[in-house]
Amino acid sequence: MNHDRGMVLEHALLSVEPGREDAFEDAFREAKTIIAGMPGFGRLTLSRCLERTSTYLLLVEWDHLDDHTVGFRGSPEYQRWRRLLHHFYDPFPVVEHYEQVLSA
């Protein structure tokens, strides 16, 4: 499978511990500056679920899969990202990567 045909979309559903949503959003405001400076980063959106208000959808566009899985996750910046955000999650999110097939 060729992952270099275009942008790769990282998808994660973030289950934040109830009652900690405001603190999570504050931490994410800081964390987004970390990820935004990484090589291969395109853009991100963080959206909050209307039905399950402790659940967020994180979408991050990367130039290549390795920009996220090797470059970002292997970087010192990722350790700062983890310290800021990972303690909010229960359970820990599944992160998957997608390649666009169609759009309208």
Residues near 77 by beta carbon (within 8 Å), at least 6 away in sequence: 34, 35, 37, 38
Q: What is the pTM of this model?
A: 0.91
pLDDT reported for residue 81 = 97
Sheet holding 55-62, edge to edge: 41-48, 55-62, 8-15, 95-99
Name the token pair of 61. Answer: 């566009």
Q: What is the pLDDT of residues 61-103, one digit of tens each?
A: 999 999 999 999 999 999 999 999 999 999 999 999 999 999 9
